[in-house]
Structure 1
Amino acid sequence: MATYRGGRPRQWDKRRQPKLPNFQLDPPVDTAFLLKDLQSPIKTLPLVTSEPSPVKLCDVKAIASYSWIEAPTPTIAVPGSPWVWSDTHVTRVPLDKGVQQIHHNASKMGNQSPLLPLFAAVDALHEEFRYGDFDLITDRNTLRKFLRCIRGARDAHDRMDFRIDIDLIQNTCILTRCEERNTHDVGTRSGYGAEYQKATTKAPLGCEKMSGHHRIISYKFGGIKLLLRCTVDACTESDIDDDDLFLASFSSLSIRGGGNGSAQKPPPPPLHGLNVKLTSPRTVIPQSDLIEIKTRSAYRELDWDEIYPQLYLSQTAYLFIARHDRGTFRPVEKIELDGDDMKAHAKEAEETIFKLKVLLEDILKAVREEGAGSPTTLVCQDGTLTLWKREEGTGNTLGTEITSKFHRITSRGSQPSSKGRRVDKLG
């Protein structure tokens, strides 16, 4: 699956290998960014644990999703849709160029909390959603950072240092991803991933102007209740009946009332400058249709320490691997998360997945001991993970519009319609 079959595997003639792009190392993360507005360290969190045991990830539910829409004002389409895999063999694409997103939500939201779209999307599909039932609310990217810290640096390419801001509302820890910069110009460090995705997928009906798709799921991870956001590359194409196509054709993605919206529910009011446009049908693409796309040179091995946990933590059903020789692509390899090809990688990841569960338990305990209203920050620096006190009112504050959602004591409200495309159970 992961070996090059031209000639003898792993014994290529280096003189015949094409010159690969010159990938320069990222500069180290600025200490001033890591420690900005921090007051004093609280404790260092241990990363070494006792003998590992398998961790159960269960009760996976699709909660909501949204697509960013290119517009003058930050705008999301809910539930939106990922790009749809076209299932055509693309043989050649150009190098990526221009500005690419590192943290899409922060890039769009500016000084507002990058988690605001998560709450807006959930509220658009659920009435009185019980956020307070969760132990952790965060991004998959944050959990992947923790895993890298647990594994430790393997070479000079591993960027280990990071910062995660934490707010405790009642008993729920909200972990906010922080990046030193939210976009970057690929310049000479270009690959083919973005162009390949563009060539092999098509925009879903009603989301032609979208620039990225995000999904919110919930599950229990070793007893910890998580509400998790992640990006989605693509989805498989499913049959949609004529009624759904008719409704979708009238979905409004224009800015401030430029078309007919669905009659099912009026568009929610803007949240601190974030516009929400409802799309039809009101269905969340099922987990079983989700695709992660990876492009790799035929001369480079896949990094399964990175790839398997990425799929596992978001329960993405498929991995599509597109190998190329300087932009000339072979037919895609399609691998299922629960398939036989993944069993060895799942076994290898058991120890770090277990350590992640223990680390999350330690984080919850330490933050809860500080109490609600005491903002904290996790900083990983030189392989050491430390919890710090943070000055009140600093960072991208959540605001009362988010914090008030945790004080509702009501039963769960209505659910989005499941008419049309097959949908996962909505939590």
Structure 2
Amino acid sequence: MFTVPRNIKDGLKEATTTILVSSVRAPSDLTRDTPIVEDIKTVSSYNWLAEHETDYNVPTIQVPGAPPILHFPKGKPPIKLEADTGHHFIDQNASRMKGNSGLIPGLAACHAYKRDFKITDYDVVTDRNNLIKLFELIELSLVGTKDAVTPATSTPWRAPSIEAAAARRDRGGGGWRGRGRGRGGNRGAHPFFQQLGARQGMGIESMDRRAETTRIDIDVVSGYDNDTGKYIYDESSPNKTLVMTRWEAKNEEVVISQIDFRGFGHSFLTETRQFLSVEDGRVFQKGANDVTGYHCLVEYRLFGMKLLVRYHADACDMTKEEFVKWISQDAIHDLEGSDTQSEGSDEDEDDDPDRTLCESPTTDTFDLLDAFKTLSVKTERPSNEKLLSKLKLTASQNTNPDVVSLPKIPMDIIPTPNAVFPGEKILQVKTRGKHTGLNRERLHTQLFFSQTRNVFVAYHTRGVFSERETSKEDITAGLSKWADDNKELLKRLTSIFRQVKETVGGMGGKGAIGFVLRKKASDDPVVIDIQGRDD
């Protein structure tokens, strides 16, 4: 699938307001007693249902969603995987929404699960990706200052340093960019750039590329219309929310591993993840072409500011048995209370040997061992065409709660009987070469903003993964220490929220921010440019 990258300046007005990142200070109203993070709660979640989208040509999510389990049984022989190749999403939400805001599925999931949900209950609504970009920008602005933070790694970081780049240049490697692709010249004249290369493995080339393609769309809103997917802009409203929407030059791409090696992360997840579901009291595995992602929305207060953050979750920290017990509770309870349970079926599903009923005893819970004695997992999604045909209704006919159609967006929502999955059981998955260090500073940055406590690391040797070379870790203590170490930088982040909100609010509520790296020693090296949007 070939897509032409978007221009980072598309739809932006010429007038620019600049924030010098290094000059941003912590809000003056914060005290030493103000907690860094508090009131953490998972608000909603959803899965993308690609099969339904293909059948009915409408983006479809199920709410609440269910994360996949990570299935790497003990004693299994090592597996040899090919490097990541083929089609990959960069931003699945924006890609599937086909020109509509990529935040719509997250907001729709919140409304579907929590009827009293209001966007104005939050100070900031955003993707985790935006928070990581902004935080890293603040870090970069402090390189070489007393506030700079030294990244912690489990082994020394091996990314190209500024010295390595200089060595390539001296060997005729083509300037600071190296490998024959540079423009020549001493691009490290500014003290900032002299130290940038060793910073978390980000060399000048990678940061130039980040600055040239990084944009975040900004809306300062007084409300949100869930039926149309439109924000409400009322300048007189005293209660406004800063909404930050992820913007990527491309939302999807095709990777050719022989040309662009990206590691083995996608291949590993494809091989080891299983999406399980319960329908009519039966457990089955959904196919890889049916469910293509699991997203969570978590709320928390960051130095008093209330954030709603959406993020993509890799898997869950549960065994297959534990997961089936969790997902079956609500499904069986829903089945027992359904009027349709005793209506029978046109087909005798008990004749299907691949789908086995999870029997429920008289109590609200069931014995896991007994349930699993009767459990088999179907490797492909059973035919559900008749049910979907029955539930697919027009907007005027849609009184059935099993499918909620939003034709003005358009999008379909399929409610599930699940409770929201517990956030403390979400698992981030990382793959690394056996002799490559795991950059814990970057890991903690990522997982702090989603408040993800668990990480699973699979080490490999040239794509060969062994169960013995995997580890799972609760990093709650590490996140707490990271937050304390980066307290001042996080305070500055909340200041940027305030400045951006005030500036874009003065532009009518629609704008975008971009990052600029200035090379001259007389300039502030890192700035944020704020421009109005025409849409």
Distance in 1, Cα, partners of 2:215 & 2:327: 46
Distance in 1, Cα, partners of 2:264 & 2:430: 10
> Which of 301, 320, 326 is residue 240 of structure 1 equivalent to?
326
Q: What is the Cα deviation at residue 104 of structure 1? A: 0.9
Count how many residue pairs are aligned between Structure 1 and Structure 2: 359
Distance in 2, Cα, partners of 1:64 & 1:323: 32
Unaligned 5+ runs, structure 1: 1-29, 394-427
Aligned residue runs from structure 1 range 21-420, under 5 A: 32-34=7-9, 36-47=11-22, 56-70=36-50, 71-72=53-54, 73-89=58-74, 91-92=78-79, 93-152=81-140, 153=196, 154=199, 155=203, 156-158=205-207, 159-161=209-211, 162-170=214-222, 171-188=240-257, 189-205=261-277, 208=286, 209-237=290-318, 238=322, 239-240=325-326, 244-246=330-332, 257-258=388-389, 265-271=401-407, 272-281=409-418, 283-330=419-466, 331=468, 332-339=470-477, 342=478, 347=481, 350-352=484-486, 354-371=488-505, 373-382=508-517, 384-393=526-535
Distance in 2, Cα, partners of 1:391 & 1:236: 42
Q: What is the Cα deviation at residue 50 of structure 1? A: 6.0
Name the CA shift for 1:58/1:163 in 2 (closer, same or farther; >3 Å): same
Partner residue, 1:16: none
Q: What is the Cα deviation at residue 260 of structure 1? A: 6.9
Distance in 1, Cα, partners of 2:327 & 2:7: 55
Q: What is the Cα deviation at residue 185 of structure 1? A: 1.8
Q: Is the 8 A contact 2:88 2:255 kept in 1?
A: yes
Partner residue, 2:158: none
Unaligned 5+ runs, structure 2: 141-195, 223-239, 279-284, 336-356, 358-380, 393-398, 518-524
Distance in 1, Cα, partners of 2:444 & 2:465: 23
Q: Is the 8 A contact 1:135 1:224 kept in 2?
A: yes
Give TM-score scaled by structure 2 length: 0.61
Q: Is the 8 A contact 1:312 1:337 kept in 2?
A: no
Name the CA shift for 1:321/1:336 in 2 (closer, same or farther; >3 Å): same
Q: What is the Cα deviation at residue 94 of structure 1? A: 2.7
Distance in 1, Cα, partners of 2:111 & 2:69: 25
Q: What is the Cα deviation at residue 191 of structure 1? A: 1.7
> Could you report, residue by residue, the CA deviation over 1:72-113 in whole angstroms, capped at 9, with x for unpaired residues?
221111111111122524621332220111111111111101
Distance in 2, Cα, partners of 1:164 & 1:194: 26
Name the CA shift for 1:369/1:68 in 2 (closer, same or farther; >3 Å): same
Distance in 1, Cα, partners of 2:428 & 2:327: 26
Distance in 2, Cα, partners of 1:253 & 1:157: 46
Distance in 1, Cα, partners of 2:384 & 2:415: 8
Distance in 2, Cα, partners of 1:329 & 1:259: 45
> Could you report, residue by residue, the CA deviation over 1:20-57 in whole angstroms, capped at 9, with x for unpaired residues?
xxxxxxxxxx8941465232112314235669989611
> Could you report, residue by residue, the CA deviation over 1:383-426 in whole angstroms, capped at 9, with x for unpaired residues?
63324232331xxxxxxxxxxxxxxxxxxxxxxxxxxxxxxxxx
Q: Is the 8 A contact 1:38 1:388 kept in 2?
A: no
Q: Is the 8 A contact 2:47 2:61 kept in 1?
A: yes
SS of 2:210's partner is coil
Which structure has the larger Rg? Answer: 2
SS of 1:388's partner is strand
Distance in 2, Cα, partners of 1:251 & 1:365: 52
Name the CA shift for 1:205/1:31 in 2 (closer, same or farther; >3 Å): closer
Give TM-score scaled by structure 1 length: 0.75
SS of 2:404's partner is coil
**Identity of matched residues, %:** 26
User: Which letter maps to 2:18?
Assistant: K
User: Which letter maps to 2:300?
Assistant: Y
The CA RMSD over aligned residues, in Å, is: 3.2
Q: Is the 8 A contact 1:102 1:184 kept in 2?
A: yes
Q: What is the Cα deviation at residue 362 of structure 1? A: 2.9
Q: What is the Cα deviation at residue 233 of structure 1? A: 0.2
Partner residue, 2:345: none
